[in-house]
Amino acid sequence: MVEIRDAKDLERLRQIQNKRKLSFDGFEGKVKEIIKNVKENGDKALFKYTEQFDGYEANSKSILVSEREFDEALKKVPLEHKNIIECAARRIERFHEAFKPKSQFMEENGSILGVRVTPVDSAGLYIPGGKAAYPSTALMTIIPAVVAGVRGIQIATPAKGGIANPYVLYIAKLYGINRVYKIGGAQAIAAFAYSTKTVPVVDVIAGPGNIYVALAKKMVFGDVGIDSVAGPSEVMVVADESANPVYVAKDLLSQAEHDELAGCFFVGLDKKLVLQTEKLFVEYAKSTVRNYITKISAKNSVFMFADNLELAARCVDVIAPEHLELQLKDNYGFMNMVSHAGAIFIGEHTPEPIGDYVAGPNHTLPTSSTARFFSPLSCETFMKKSSILHFTRKGFERVAKCASDFAKIEGLFAHGESVDARFNNN
């Protein structure tokens, strides 16, 4: 148990989080080489990497999922699973529709000013395949783009042996997406960013992936938009003596089972609760079905006792966690003390897995402290804003002299003359 009592303890916590952050050391050269090769050689390089990493003969026909493959996939997904997926999909759609950014305008004495919000033309969605292919991830990646109104949606998903995950294909078909490519890794990101003869360029790339995908997205950002650069998953729970230690320990474990690098942080306002929770968590980590992962990820856990709510809030902002659970007597009061978190789960009946599947808000969230500046995947990821300005003669005359004088301050005389020509033309 780590005791948080002052700024020195908070600095120790910051160092712990810094060590967890995704390190690209040793990967940059390889990813840069892959991107350069695909950018310069297009399909030839893309097919070569696909054969090398996914183990099937890749060409312009074989990497694109056929109607026959879609039909076969639909047969492989049991009806019960389809019903579950569609139940979750309806809730996710409803949430994203409700919070889709909208154009706004204001009028003031002869002027109309505003923001016009429109979707990007195209998006490349990366959906992990194989053992890491989760239907929930496909829903959370596809639905915001569809709701945003993106017309050209393409999917890249790795397919070992040339066989794409049937759940990914089922959900793609559910939303009318026919261009699904059986490609993965940095080569898929490069194809989306720079295009090949088979894969058209896109405006935005979104979706989680491994370290090669994360680094490739980081490298192509600026040529295309991206959602974020994802690192290892993490959860932070803040609780006081009112919390149930069994609930807390199991919530931490639900994140620990994701992968060996998952981060689990607990901040307790009561020492007895911290010790109880830590003991239960260690026991559960040994006995879970996925203990081959949780026994390792449990070693990344940090259990803390905070002297007061203010220190606990500062702990949260140091970590800026992907998932933040609050199990306190005054959850909303504490939430207003916190500035940085990807998603906030309030109360003992809102465990993090509810957000993973059926709550509605997106589960693709900023990790590794990037919640300080990144936001969850949403419709906004696939939309952009244009400023709108319209002045009547009356409105123009109200501000023209100020604009002309400002141009003179900056020594941009043609700017001033552009304004003065209208101002003096009565």
- The DSSP code for 387 is E
Quote the pTM value.
0.93
Q: What is the mean pLDDT of the chain?
A: 94
Q: Which two tokens stand for residue 142?
A: 């596809």
Q: How far from 194 is each of 189, 206, 409, CA to CA, in Å?
A: 9, 15, 42
Instruction: Answer whether 2-22+231-350 and 28-226 agree in fold.
Output: yes
Category of 320 on φ-ψ map: left (φ > 0), alpha (ψ -120 to 50) or beta: left
DSSP H/E element including 277: helix 271-287
> Which residue is catalytic, options 69, 258, 278, 323?
323
Q: State pLDDT tens for residues 63-80.
A: 999 999 999 999 999 999
The arrangement of secondary structure in 28-226, i.e. its CATH architecture, is 3-Layer(aba) Sandwich (3.40)
Report the distance separating Cα 189 and Cα 102, nearest Å.
Answer: 29
The reply to whether 349 belongs to the active site is: no
pLDDT at 132: 61
> Which residue is catalytic, options 322, 325, 352, 380?
322
Class of domain 2-22+231-350 as given by CATH: alpha beta
Provide the percentage of residues in the chain whose pLDDT is more than 90.
87
Res 131 pLDDT > 60:
no
Q: State pLDDT tens for residues 79-118.
A: 999 999 999 999 999 999 999 999 999 999 999 999 999 9
**Cα torsion at 74, 75, 81, 84 (round to 10°)?**
40
pLDDT at 342: 96
Report the distance separating Cα 361 and Cα 8, nearest Å.
Answer: 36
Res 126 pLDDT > 60:
yes
The reply to whether 322 belongs to the active site is: yes
pLDDT at 230: 82
Judge whether 388 and 116 are in contact, CB under 8 Å: yes
- Residue 235 binned pLDDT confidence (cut-offs 50, 70, 90): very high
**Cα torsion at 10, 15, 16, 22 (round to 10°)?**
130
- Residue 12 binned pLDDT confidence (cut-offs 50, 70, 90): confident
Could you state, in order of their start, the residue ranges of all structural domains in the chain? 2-22+231-350, 28-226, 392-423
Q: State pLDDT tens for residues 354-377.
A: 999 999 999 999 998 999 999 999
Q: State pLDDT tens for residues 195-222.
A: 999 999 999 999 999 889 999 999 999 9
- Residue 3 binned pLDDT confidence (cut-offs 50, 70, 90): confident
Q: Taking residues 407-414, what's their average pLDDT?
A: 96
